[in-house]
Amino acid sequence: MTAEQVVFVLAAVVTLGSALGMVTTRSVFVGALWMIAVFGGVAALFILLGAGFLGIVQILVYIGAIAVLILFAIMLTPRVMGDPNAPRYNRQWPLVAVMASALASLLVALVLRTDWPLAQEGAPTITGFAVELGKGFMTTYILPFEVASVLLLVALIGAIVIAREE
Amino acid sequence: MSSVPLSWYLIVAALLFSIGAYGALARRNAIGILMGIELMLNAVNINLVAFWRYIEVTGLAGQLFAVIVITVAAAEAAVALALILAIYRTRDTVNVEEIDLLKW
Amino acid sequence: METLLSLTPLVPLFPLLAFLAIVLVLNPNKRLSAAVAIGAVGLSWLLGWAIFFSSIGAGLGEQPFVVELPWMPTGRRLFVMSVMLDPLGAIMLFMVPFVALLIFIYSVGYHNLGQPNVEPRFSRFFAYISLFAAGMLALVVSGNMLLFFIAWEIMGLCSYLLIGFWFYKPSAANAAKKAFLTTRVGDVLLFVGLVLLYSFTGSLNLYEVLSPENIEFMKESSISVAGLFTLPALPTIALLIFGGAVGKSAQFPLHVWLPDAMEGPTPVSAMIHAATMVAAGVFLVARMLPLFEPIEGSWWLGVVALIGAFTAVFAASIAVAQNDIKRVLAYSTISQLGYMIAALGIGGFIAGVFHMLTHAFFKALLFLGSGSVIHGMEHGVHHVEEHGHGEGHGHVDPQDMWNMGNLRRHMPTTFWTYVVGAFALAGVPLVTAGFWSKDEILAEAFEKWTHKGVVSIPFVVWLLLTVGAALTAFYMGRQLGLVFGGRERTEAARHAHESPRSMTVPLMILALFAIGFGWVNIPKNVPLVGNGWLYTFLAETHINVLHEPYEKVPFVFSVAAFSSILALGGLALGWWLYRDVTGDATVSPFERDPVARAFARIPLVGRPLWLLLENKYYVDEIYGVLVVRPVLALSAFLNSFDDRWIIDPLVDGVGKAARGLSAVGRWIDTYIVDGIVNYIGYILDELARGLRLIQTGRLPNYLAILVAGVLALVGLMLR
Amino acid sequence: MEALDRIFIRIGEAFSTFLAQYLPAPVVTVIGMFLSAIIISTFAALTFMLLTWLERKFVGRMQDRIGPNRVGPFGLLQPIADAIKMFTKELITPAGAHKVVYNLAPILVVAPSLMIFAVIPFGRDMVAADLDVGVLYLIALSSATEVAILMAGWASRNKFSLLGAMRAVAQMLSYEVPLVLILLTLVLMAGSMRLTDLVAVQGVPFAFLQPVAFVIFIVAAAAELNRTPFDIPEAESELVAGYHTEYGGMKFGLFMMAEFIAAFGMAALVTTVFLGGWRPWLIPLPSWLWFLIKTYLVLFVFIWFRGTFPRLRIDQLQAFCWKFLVPVTLLNVIVTGVVVTFVPLVRNGEVVVRGIGGWATVTVVYFAVNVVFALVVAWLYRRPTLQAVQQIQVGQPAGRGLSREVQTA
pLDDT of residue D241: 64
Q: What percentage of chain D reaches a pLDDT higher than 70?
A: 93
ipTM metric: 0.68
Q: What is the mean pLDDT of residues C95-100?
A: 90
| pLDDT tier, C556 (very low <50, low <70, confident <90, very high otherwise) | confident
The 10s digit of each residue's pLDDT in B57-73 is: 777 788 888 999 999 99
Which CA distances in Å does C534 have to C347, C349, C451, D330? Answer: 16, 12, 25, 125
Other beta carbons within 10 Å of B76:
17
The 10s digit of each residue's pLDDT in C624-636 is: 888 888 889 999 9
Q: Identify which of C289, C81, C291, C290 has the alpha carbon closest to the alpha carbon of residue C203.
A: C81
Q: Does C714 touch chain A (CB under 8 A)?
A: yes
A and C: number of Cβ contacts within 8 A: 29
pLDDT of residue D200: 86
CB contact under 8 A, D133 and A36: no
pLDDT of residue D405: 46
Domain count, chain A: 2
Q: Among the listed ranges C219-228, C290-299, C308-317, C682-691, which one has the minimum average pLDDT value?
A: C290-299
Q: Give A111 to chain D, closest Cα distance, Å.
A: 33
pLDDT of residue D407: 47
pLDDT of residue D401: 44
CA atoms within 13 A on the CB side of A2: 10
DSSP per-residue codes, A124-161: PPSTTHHHHHHHHHHTTTHHHHHHHHHHHHHHHHHHHH
- Mean pLDDT of the residues in chain D: 84
Q: Among the listed ranges B76-80, D107-111, D353-357, which one has the minimum average pLDDT value?
A: D353-357
| pLDDT tier, C601 (very low <50, low <70, confident <90, very high otherwise) | confident
Every domain of chain D and the residues it spans: 89-352
Q: Is B58 exposed, middle or buried (0-12, 13-18, 19+ CB in 10 A)?
A: exposed
From the list A31, A61, A101, which residue is nearest B74 (CB)?
A: A61
Q: Does D139 touch chain A (CB under 8 A)?
A: yes
Q: What is the mean pLDDT of residues D89-106?
A: 84
**Same domain assignment for residues A73 and A12:** yes
| pLDDT tier, C10 (very low <50, low <70, confident <90, very high otherwise) | confident
CB contact under 8 A, A60 and D166: no
Q: Give C712 to chain A, closest Cα distance, Å.
A: 9
| pLDDT tier, C285 (very low <50, low <70, confident <90, very high otherwise) | confident
Per-residue b or e along D5-25, where b marks 16 or more CB atoms closer than 10 Å to that residue's CB: bbebeeebeeeeeeeeeeeee
| pLDDT tier, C661 (very low <50, low <70, confident <90, very high otherwise) | very high
pLDDT of residue C547: 66
pLDDT of residue C132: 92
Let me know the angle formed at the C-alpha of D289 by D283 and D292, rounded to the nearest 5 degrees: 120
Chains B and C touch (3+ CB pairs under 8 A): yes
Residue D173 with chain A: CB contacts under 8 Å = 68
From the list D131, D143, D166, which residue is nearest A72 (CB)?
A: D166
Residue C582 has pLDDT above 80, yes or no: no
Residue A96 with chain C: CB contacts under 8 Å = 700, 704, 707
pLDDT of residue C188: 92
Task: List the alpha helices (DSSP H) in C277-394.
Answer: 277-287, 300-320, 325-345, 349-387
Residue C553 has pLDDT above 80, yes or no: no
**Same domain assignment for residues A1 and A75:** yes
| pLDDT tier, D295 (very low <50, low <70, confident <90, very high otherwise) | very high
Which CA distances in Å does D123 have to C81, C294, D6, D39, D112? Answer: 123, 150, 9, 15, 22
Q: What is the mean pLDDT of residues C475-481?
A: 88
| pLDDT tier, D402 (very low <50, low <70, confident <90, very high otherwise) | very low
Chains D and B touch (3+ CB pairs under 8 A): no
Chain B residue closest to C702 (CA)? Answer: B25
Q: Identify which of C176, C97, C109 has the alpha carbon closest to the alpha carbon of residue C133.
A: C97
Chains A and D touch (3+ CB pairs under 8 A): yes
The 10s digit of each residue's pLDDT in D121-155 is: 888 888 888 888 888 888 888 888 888 888 888 88
Residue D146 with chain A: CB contacts under 8 Å = 64, 68
Is the pTM higher than 0.80? The answer reads no
Chain A residue closest to B66 (CA)? Answer: A54
Q: What is the mean pLDDT of residues C142-159?
A: 90
Q: Does A111 touch chain C (CB under 8 A)?
A: no
From the list D26, D101, D140, which residue is nearest A59 (CB)?
A: D140
| pLDDT tier, C659 (very low <50, low <70, confident <90, very high otherwise) | very high
Of A62, A79, A96, the domain-final residue: A79
Domain extent for A47: 1-79
In this structure, are residues B40 and C710 in contact, taking their beta carbons and an 8 Å threshold? no
CB contact under 8 A, C699 and B96: yes
Q: What is chain A's pLDDT, residue by residue, as a tens digit (166 residues)? A: 688 888 899 999 999 999 999 888 888 888 898 999 999 999 999 988 888 888 888 888 998 889 999 988 888 887 654 455 556 666 777 888 888 899 899 888 888 888 777 766 655 555 567 788 888 888 888 888 999 999 999 999 999 898 887 6
CATH fold group of domain B6-91: Helix Hairpins (1.10.287)
pLDDT of residue A41: 93
pLDDT of residue D403: 45
Chain D residue closest to A74 (CA)? Answer: D154
Q: Is C391 exposed, middle or buried (0-12, 13-18, 19+ CB in 10 A)?
A: exposed
CB contact under 8 A, A99 and C704: yes
- Which of helix, strand or coil describes residue D67? coil
Supply the angle between the helices A93-113 and C699-718 in degrees, to the nearest 10: 30
Q: Does A57 touch chain B (CB under 8 A)?
A: yes
pLDDT of residue D409: 45
| pLDDT tier, B41 (very low <50, low <70, confident <90, very high otherwise) | very high
Residue B95 with chain A: CB contacts under 8 Å = 80
CB contact under 8 A, B72 and A5: no
Q: Does C718 touch chain A (CB under 8 A)?
A: yes
Q: Does B40 touch chain A (CB under 8 A)?
A: no
- Mean pLDDT of the residues in chain C: 84
The 10s digit of each residue's pLDDT in C63-84 is: 777 888 888 777 777 788 888 8
CB contact under 8 A, B100 and C707: no
Does residue A147 lie within any of the structural domains? Answer: yes
Residue D397 has pLDDT above 60, yes or no: no
DSSP per-residue codes, B14-57: HHHHHHHHHHHHHBSBHHHHHHHHHHHHHHHHHHHHHHHHHT-S
| pLDDT tier, C211 (very low <50, low <70, confident <90, very high otherwise) | confident
